[in-house]
Amino acid sequence: MDTETLEALKIAVRGPVIGPEDSGYDAARKVYNGMLDKRPAAVVPCRDVVDVRDVIAFARDKGVDLAVRGGGHSAPGLGIVDGGVTADLASMRWVRVDPEARTAQVGGGSTLGDLDHATQGFGLAVPTGINSTTGLGGLTLGGGHGYLTRKYGLTVDSLVAADVVLADGSFVTASESEHEDLFWALRGGSGNFGVVTSFTYRLHPVGTVGVGTTVWPVDRTPEVLAWYREFMPQADEDVYGFFAVLAVPPGPPFPEELHGRKMCGVVWCHTGDPGRTEAVIGDALAGAREAGEPAFHFTTPMPYVELQSMFDELLPPGLQWYWRGDFFDRVPDEALEIHRRYGEELPSGLSTMHLYPVDRAAHRVANDATAWSYRDAVWSGVYAAIDPDPANAAALKEWCVGYMEALHPYSMGGSYVNFLGEGEGEERVRATYRENYDRLARVKQKYDPDNVFHTNQNVRPASAASKA
Ligand code: FAD
Q: How does pLDDT run across 3-35, given as a tens digit for each residue?
A: 899 999 999 999 799 999 999 999 999 999 999
Q: Is 371 in the pocket of ligand 1 (CB under 6 A)?
A: no
111 CA distance to ligand 1 centroid (A)? Answer: 9
Which whole-number Å values give the CA distances from 283 to 280, 287, 360, in the listed order? 5, 8, 20
The predicted structure's pLDDT at residue 427: 96
The predicted structure's pLDDT at residue 178: 98
Alpha carbon distance 380, 134 (integer Å): 17
Tell which one of 29, 68, 311 to mutate to probe ligand 1, the residue whose CB is within 8 A of the most ligand atoms: 68
412 CA distance to ligand 1 centroid (A)? Answer: 22
Q: Is 191 in the pocket of ligand 1 (CB under 6 A)?
A: yes
Q: What are the backbone dihedrals phi and psi of residue 217, each rounded to the nearest 5 degrees, phi first?
A: -55, 145
- Min mean pLDDT across 7-16, 226-235, 242-251 is at 7-16
Query: How do residues 295-318 score in pLDDT, each as one tens digit?
Result: 999 999 999 999 999 999 999 999
Mean pLDDT of 388-412: 98
Q: What are the backbone dihedrals phi and psi of residue 66, each rounded to the nearest 5 degrees, phi first?
A: -115, 135
Q: At what angle do helices 277-289 and 221-234 cross, to 10 degrees?
A: 130
Residue 135 is given by DSSP the state: B
pLDDT above 60 for 337: yes
The predicted structure's pLDDT at residue 466: 64
The predicted structure's pLDDT at residue 266: 97
Alpha carbon distance 99, 387 (integer Å): 41
Q: Is 349 in the pocket of ligand 1 (CB under 6 A)?
A: no
The predicted structure's pLDDT at residue 465: 64
Task: Tell me the domains of the chain and their CATH numbers.
Answer: 3-88 (3.30.43.10), 208-419 (3.40.462.20)
73 CA distance to ligand 1 centroid (A)? Answer: 5
The predicted structure's pLDDT at residue 364: 98
Radius of gyration of the chain (CA): 22
The predicted structure's pLDDT at residue 36: 96
CB 93 within 8 A of CB 107: yes
Alpha carbon distance 172, 185 (integer Å): 14
Alpha carbon distance 150, 362 (integer Å): 6
Comparing C-alpha atoms, which of 436, 408, 447 is closest to residue 424?
408
Query: How do residues 94-111 score in pLDDT, each as one tens digit?
Result: 999 999 999 999 999 999
Strand runs labelled E in 255-335:
262-270, 296-303, 320-328
User: Which atom of ligand 1 is the closest one to the Cα of 77?
Assistant: 2
The predicted structure's pLDDT at residue 222: 97
Buried b (16+ CB within 10 A) or exposed e, 271-281: bbebeebbebb
The predicted structure's pLDDT at residue 157: 98
Q: Is 124 in the pocket of ligand 1 (CB under 6 A)?
A: no
Longest dimension (CA), the chain: 70
409 CA distance to ligand 1 centroid (A)? Answer: 27
Percent of the chain past pLDDT 90, that is, above it, reads: 94
Mean pLDDT of 179-200: 98
- pLDDT band of residue 467 (cuts 50, 70, 90) is low
130 CA distance to ligand 1 centroid (A)? Answer: 12
Alpha carbon distance 54, 57 (integer Å): 5
The predicted structure's pLDDT at residue 292: 87
Q: Is 110 in the pocket of ligand 1 (CB under 6 A)?
A: no
With 0-12 / 13-18 / 19 or more C-beta atoms within 10 angstroms meaning exposed / middle / buried, residue 176 is exposed
Q: Is 189 in the pocket of ligand 1 (CB under 6 A)?
A: no
pLDDT above 60 for 468: no
239 CA distance to ligand 1 centroid (A)? Answer: 25
Q: Is 34 in the pocket of ligand 1 (CB under 6 A)?
A: no
Average pLDDT, rounded, for the chain: 96
Q: Is 107 in the pocket of ligand 1 (CB under 6 A)?
A: no
User: Which atom of ligand 1 is the closest one to the Cα of 190?
Assistant: 7
